[in-house]
Structure 1
């Protein structure tokens, strides 16, 4: 009888331990992994907005730009508010995007680059029981987007299209994030996960050039709206407290 009671007691403690470390209310988790960002990019034509301080509205036909894919390391920290609802903060090492000309600008190849910052707050709903090995989820959130290190790197593009040395600035914005994925519990603490997110993201790139003209140097400003709309894949491994 005593042996039976002891075995039952150990089993009960094991169940309590499993429940304590499940993805349940009050759990905190951290993860790290690999982000792959695949922009579904396009852009409006390049438009000259002023020459020598005088407003203009000159559109360069059949001009545009696109971005290539990028990879970086990501980190998340999350908290289960209930057994099924979690909040999560996501950040990655800023990936570097290369900008390529399209249309009449395709002949220049890579024309510029920039780093993207996009810290994100997600609210996620997990399906299945907190103790389940496999837990799919859906999420929605908001991301703050801005760029650093924006520059035109192609001297031929600067000389022939922008007519001189050019500086670049971009808009920052708040954007919605739509997210889906799953976690797979490896042990009571360790888990692996995969997610995919979509951001309907666009930014306006503003170019300021110092053009050399027959009447002397003039400041020329131009701009284009670039749609990134990236699909972001995150493969990660995490630890739950």
Structure 2
């Protein structure tokens, strides 16, 4: 795996004359893991996986596991409540497709190609201990959005089909909610480490480009999936 993540975080520190107002900025960089997952409710339309001529079938569309990388900047609006903006991306992962139509599909489990996921998110965290505590467990909620960039598979004709997949096109038109829970550990006055688990449901539309084209017909899938992502961070309070 070869990947370079370069993130530069700018933040301003503020002095506050009001003792009841807590407002330090902080920034963090993180890395984690997204395990492989299958769509919980996919509908596939098109002839590529269609062995019985139906126009729409229930399909399994799966994304392989991958490393994840993120950067975030946050602001404590009170001693225990923080607002956080984050950006992140995954390493390359493999996309698979199968069809469960009660018969024998043309292709069983098919490597459709590689993809990379980019995301941005806005969340709110509540910390259960005060700001001077060394260990600060928290729970958070938020919304996220993003896009997936697909790549063609690097191989020849798909088995039993005479067709080659030339590319994947993804569309992510929806924002999706997420929840997370974890804790931070103060290393000194400014530096801290964190660990957390993130749970989110995403929805993507995937179009499959083929060669030769299948008589102008579309091969599309509506992919709804639940993701669980552990993550560790290192951060700095300004």
Which of these residues, 61, 66, 88, is aligned with residue 62 of structure 2? 66
Instruction: Report the Cα offset of residue 117 of structure 1.
Output: 0.9
- Quick one: distance in 2 between partners of 1:44 and 1:144? 20
Aligned residue for 1:46, secondary structure, equals strand
- Quick one: distance in 2 between partners of 1:199 and 1:162? 38
Q: Identify if the C-alpha distance between structure 1 residues 125 and 165 changes in structure 2 by more than 3 Å, giving closer, same or farther.
A: closer
Aligned residue for 1:144, secondary structure, equals strand
Instruction: Report the Cα offset of residue 210 of structure 1.
Output: 4.9
Instruction: Report the Cα offset of residue 128 of structure 1.
Output: 1.0
Q: Identify if the C-alpha distance between structure 1 residues 90 and 116 changes in structure 2 by more than 3 Å, giving closer, same or farther.
A: same
Instruction: Within 5 Å, give how 1:66-145 maps onto structure 2.
Output: 66-102=62-98, 104=105, 105-108=107-110, 110-145=111-146
- Quick one: distance in 1 between partners of 2:36 and 2:181? 18
Aligned residue for 1:90, secondary structure, equals strand
- 2:6 alignment counterpart: none
- Quick one: distance in 2 between partners of 1:238 and 1:188? 11
Aligned residue for 2:149, secondary structure, equals strand
TM norm structure 2: 0.75
Q: Identify if the C-alpha distance between structure 1 residues 47 and 162 changes in structure 2 by more than 3 Å, giving closer, same or farther.
A: farther
- Quick one: distance in 2 between partners of 1:71 and 1:210? 31
TM norm structure 1: 0.74
C-alpha contact 1:30 1:78 (8 A) present in aligned 2 = yes
- Quick one: distance in 1 between partners of 2:217 and 2:42? 18
- Quick one: distance in 2 between partners of 1:185 and 1:86? 16
1:90-131 CA-partner distances (Å, limit 9, x unpaired): 1124432211233543454x2212111111111111111111
Q: Which runs of 5+ in 1 are unaligned?
A: 1-23, 50-55
Q: Identify if the C-alpha distance between structure 1 residues 161 and 174 changes in structure 2 by more than 3 Å, giving closer, same or farther.
A: farther
- Quick one: distance in 1 between partners of 2:109 and 2:165? 19
- 1:31 alignment counterpart: 28
- Quick one: distance in 1 between partners of 2:37 and 2:76? 33
CA RMSD of aligned residues (A): 2.7
Instruction: Report the Cα offset of residue 153 of structure 1.
Output: 4.5
1:168 partnered with 2:168: yes
Aligned residue for 1:200, secondary structure, equals strand
Q: Identify if the C-alpha distance between structure 1 residues 102 and 210 changes in structure 2 by more than 3 Å, giving closer, same or farther.
A: closer
Instruction: Report the Cα offset of residue 38 of structure 1.
Output: 2.1
Aligned residue for 1:201, secondary structure, equals strand
- 2:42 alignment counterpart: 44
- Quick one: distance in 1 between partners of 2:154 and 2:44? 17
Task: Choose 1 or 2 for highest CA Rg.
Answer: 1
Structure (1/2) with the larger helix percentage = 1
Aligned length: 206
- 1:9 alignment counterpart: none
1:25-44 CA-partner distances (Å, limit 9, x unpaired): 21111111212112432263
